[in-house]
Amino acid sequence: MLWKRKATLAELNKIGEGCMVAHLGIEITRLSDDELEATMPVDNRTTQPFGLLHGGASVVLAESLGSMAGYLCTLEGQQIVGLEINANHLKAVRSGKVRGCCRAIHVGRSHQVWQIDIFDEQDQLCCTSRLTTAVLTR
C-alpha cells in the first residue's frame, strides 16, 4: 500500500470543507491501495463564459487530488506544498461531471510527482496533469 496515513472517504471529504474544494463541488469518491479519485460537476461554478469546463477548474481538481494523495503519503509532522503543476486540456466538456484519477509517479522523502488524468462521463480523457510537491517537516 502506498499510503502512510489511514483515512476514510468521509474524512478526506471533511478536509475539503470550507475551501475551494467544497466551493467547486469536488468530492473524493475512491481510495484504493495506490490511487485516489474524485468527481467535480461541470456547472456554473466550473465553466468559463462560453459554457465549457474552465481549464483552471480542471487544474484545481488535479492539484486537489495530488495534494490529498501527497498528504496521505506523509507522516505526522509533515506537510505537502505544491511546487509545479502543468495541464494539457485535450477535450471540451459542457455538462455532467468529470472524474479525476491520481496515481504516483514518484514518492520520495522530499519530493513527490503525481499524474492526474481527468475523464468525462463517457470515460474519454479530457485533461492530463502532472503535479510536483515538496514534503516539508514542521
CA 67 from centroid of its chain's CA atoms: 7
Check if 63 is active-site: yes
Residue of 112, 26, 28, 19 lying closest to 73 (CA atoms): 112
Q: List C-alpha distances in Å: 57 to 23, 79, 103, 112, 131.
A: 11, 23, 19, 22, 15
Catalytic hit among 11, 27, 63, 76: 63
Outline where the chain has alpha helix (H).
9-15, 20-23, 55-72
Cell of 33: 491501495
Active site residues: 63
